[in-house]
Amino acid sequence: MTTTTTWALARVLRDRDAGLYLAGVVVSGFGTSALWLASGVWVKDLTGSDGLAALCMLAMWAPTLAGPLLGTLADRTRRKPLLIGTNLLLAALLLTLFTVDSPDRLWLLFAVLFVYGAAGVVHDAAESALVAGAVPAPLLGDFNGLRMTATEGMKLLAPLAGAGVYAAYGGASVALLDAVTFVVATGLYACLRVRESRPEPPAGGRREQTAEGARFLWTHPGLRPLVLAGGTTMLFAGLSGAMVYAVIDGLGRAPAYAGVLYAVQGAGSVAIGLASGPALRRLGERRFAAYGIALTAAAAGLRAIPSDPVALVCSAAIGAGLPCVLIAALTAVQRETPDALLGRTAATANSLVFTPNVVGLAAGAALVELLDVRLVLAVIGLAWLVTAVPLFQNPASASRTATRSPSDANPA
């Protein structure tokens, strides 16, 4: 790790509020990752159905489609009390899963997961807005990188812990573990020293308020290309991710080898999270995102080569490249968006970036059954690479393009 990176990380961690935020992310992220794995296994054990088990992830992801609407909550009230209330609500809700002991009670599990996902959208919007006001602007990239490192680190550790707790004590015990993490995170958020004024009464109708975040993103010459590139990247990430077991078959490995590839990918994400702050300051959001997309696209295409060393290197490269556009887009949104709009804008950006991943996974699951995986990966890699090109455009030129009236703009 370079001296510059170490200095920036030390500055972030010395900031009391930033440290508390990161601790909250680690604690709640651990519980969420543990529940994510255990819920699918729980449903599979109760029903024997792969399709119903897969619905657990869909239930948690579906509320992101309502991001623009849910994000308005983070602009209508003070964000710290909203974070605390959201965490306590989820902690209480998870305890109801102790009643799920047969297939006919699974509706409650899916309902809880759906509310869990909706509360997560509100939580992320409020957190992004609160962080933007509490962390100095020059350190937002470092903070978001550390947040990515913490999140990916939990994805490496928590599923194993969740699986162990599930095997020993059952699914309800994993829900209890997750509830405890939310209570601990609530205590951390309560210790934040932030002063928030009461938001101004909203102007306009509810539909106008909801659309305001999307309108701001579309008309902003710096944010629009980053968010579009993030959404396109996650679409291709879904397509590529659906091919992982076909890639493993090509290597002559058992399906469990996916755990090795995901662990290597997670290590790459942890590494880029630590280096993202200095890289953002040196390159700027657009070039940082573009280089990350290019690295990820090349690695996705090269996975068509049936070689263990190539597969491992490509997994590490995907792990390092994929978060770049996500960190760049979030940091730019936090820096460029007025505080009164930040909750809606952050939630809208998250919806536009992450929803395509679900579409990509579904499309990839169909393509892998119909076409040669090597051909599909090669095409994905090339098409993915093209999405980085607009980010290398001169920002001044992009600004001139964005100043045209909406009626002149080409939505394509």
Summarize pLDDT for 104-134 with one digit per residue, the tens.
888 999 999 999 989 988 888 888 888 877 7
Q: What is the mean pLDDT of the chain?
A: 81
Question: Which of helix, strand or coil describes residue 100?
Answer: coil
Averaged over 9-22, what is the pLDDT? 78
User: Comparing 12-192 with 210-402, is the CATH topology the same?
Assistant: yes
What is the CA 320 to chain-centroid distance, rounded?
A: 14
pLDDT at 411: 34
pLDDT at 175: 92
d(CA 355, CA 27): 25
pLDDT at 54: 66
- CA angle in degrees (0–180, nearest 5) for 330-331-336: 100
pLDDT at 155 over 60: yes
**Contact of 386 with 296, CB cutoff 8 Å:** no
Domain residue ranges in the chain? 12-192, 210-402
Q: Which of 36-50, 151-165, 370-384 has the highest mean pLDDT?
A: 370-384
- CA angle in degrees (0–180, nearest 5) for 238-242-244: 120
SS3 string, 173-188, reads HHHHHHHHHHHHHHHH
CATH of domain 210-402: 1.20.1250.20
Lookup result for tokens 């051909």: 375
Sign of CA dihedral 258, 261, 264, 268: negative
Lookup result for tokens 């990247």: 233
What would the pLDDT profile of 164-173 be if each residue is shown by its tens digit? 888 888 888 9
CATH of domain 12-192: 1.20.1250.20
Kindly state the tokens that stand for 232. Answer: 């396109």
d(CA 64, CA 44): 25
